């Protein structure tokens, strides 16, 4: 399994998000230019950069000598658009989706690219190459200053999963893997909170050799495209703010990590 280092030429950010604004990033990896428009600042921006790395690797595997302008727009419904330049040297790809799924979007991209390139490769062959590419280990990019995290915990992506780890000197401790993440927050260097979808947080206490894992469900709140802001208090209480679309529909939850229960107030 290879470790892939992401080379980014530049990064452009950022607009603090409101209901009428977007958070923008722009980066480059090899022959792939990336542009992203997101509703809020979270790990979806880093996932686009990782997707761009996988696109670059897949192009090498398929020996496609093209340049790709890859744009991602966060939207509720999935769709994909292709635009070819006159000389077909640069291909513009626009992805509209709620989130980034590396395998699904790579298959969609390269099935169309193969057909446009006159390559009669079957779908199952494209899928097999993409599965091999996804075995590469790509570490979380650390070049977006607005997404800096405290502590020594991070993740890498491999086989379409997110593997969290903790660095202690020269030692690396594997913590837990997840199928998807939206954001994460590290508190007191032993408590890890990972937002895995629109209404679920995974709490991991990783001090012991066998991490303690709990699921925190936020019921009854429609929060598509709205992040959960997390704050950890010293007495074991996690404060969860649901970012509102308007002043009226914001809400704050209090979760006791010791008892595993929500509190009415603190």
CA distance 195 to 185: 9
pLDDT of residue 87: 67
Q: Tell me the DSSP string of the chain.
A: --EE----S---------TT--EEEEEEETTEEEEEEESSSSTHHHHHHHHHHHHHHHHHHHT---EEEEEEEE-SS-EEEEEE-TTSSEEEEEEEESS--HHHHHHHHHHHHHHHTT----HHHHHHHHHHHTTSEEEPP---GGG--SSSEEEEEETTEEEEEEEETTEEEEEEEES--SEEEEETTTEEEEEEETTEEEEEE-SSSS-EEEEEE-TT---TT-PEEEEE-TTSEEEEEEPPSSGGG-EEEEEETTTTEEES--
Q: What is the pLDDT, as a whole number, of residue 248?
A: 58
Domain boundaries, the chain: 3-139, 149-263
In the chain the first and final C-alpha atoms are separated, in Å, by 47
Task: Please tell me the predicted confidence (pLDDT) of residue 242.
Answer: 80
- Tokens encoding 176: 């837990």
Structure confidence at residue 43 (pLDDT): 95
Beta bridge partners of 176: 164
pLDDT at position 119 is: 66
- 126, burial (CB in 10 Å: exposed 0-12, middle 13-18, buried 19+): buried
Per-residue pLDDT of the chain (266 residues; tens, 9 = 90+): 444 434 444 444 443 434 446 889 999 999 999 999 998 889 999 999 999 999 999 999 988 888 999 999 999 889 999 887 766 678 899 999 999 999 999 999 998 887 766 666 777 888 999 999 999 999 999 889 889 887 889 999 999 999 999 988 888 889 999 999 999 998 876 789 999 987 889 999 887 666 778 999 887 555 555 667 888 887 889 998 887 655 556 688 899 988 889 998 77
């Amino acid at each position: 399994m290879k470790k892939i280092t992401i080379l980014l030429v530049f990064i452009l950010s950022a607009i603090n998000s409101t209901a009428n604004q977007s958070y923008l990033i722009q980066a480059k990896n090899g022959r792939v230019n990336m542009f992203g428009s997101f509703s809020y600042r979270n790990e979806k921006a880093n996932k686009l950069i990782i997707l761009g790395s996988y696109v670059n690797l897949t192009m090498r595997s398929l020996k496609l000598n093209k340049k790709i302008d890859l744009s991602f727009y966060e939207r509720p419904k999935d769709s994909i658009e292709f635009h070819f330049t006159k000389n077909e040297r640069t291909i513009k790809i626009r992805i509209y989706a709620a989130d980034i799924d590396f395998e699904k979007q790579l298959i969609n991209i390269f099935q169309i690219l193969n057909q446009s390139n006159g390559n009669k490769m079957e779908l199952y062959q494209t899928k097999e190459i993409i599965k091999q590419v996804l075995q590469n280990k790509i570490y979380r990019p650390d070049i977006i200053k607005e997404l800096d995290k405290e502590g020594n915990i991070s993740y890498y992506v491999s086989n379409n999963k997110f593997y969290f780890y903790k660095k202690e000197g020269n030692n690396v401790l594997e913590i837990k893997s997840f199928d998807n993440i939206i954001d994460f927050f590290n508190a007191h260097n032993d408590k890890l909170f990972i937002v895995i979808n629109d209404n679920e947080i995974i709490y991991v206490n990783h001090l012991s050799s066998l991490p303690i894992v709990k699921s925190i469900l936020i019921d009854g709140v429609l929060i598509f495209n709205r992040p959960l802001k997390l704050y950890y208090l010293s007495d074991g209480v996690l404060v969860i703010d649901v970012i509102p679309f308007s002043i009226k529909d914001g809400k704050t939850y209090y979760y006791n990590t010791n008892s595993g229960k929500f509190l009415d107030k603190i």
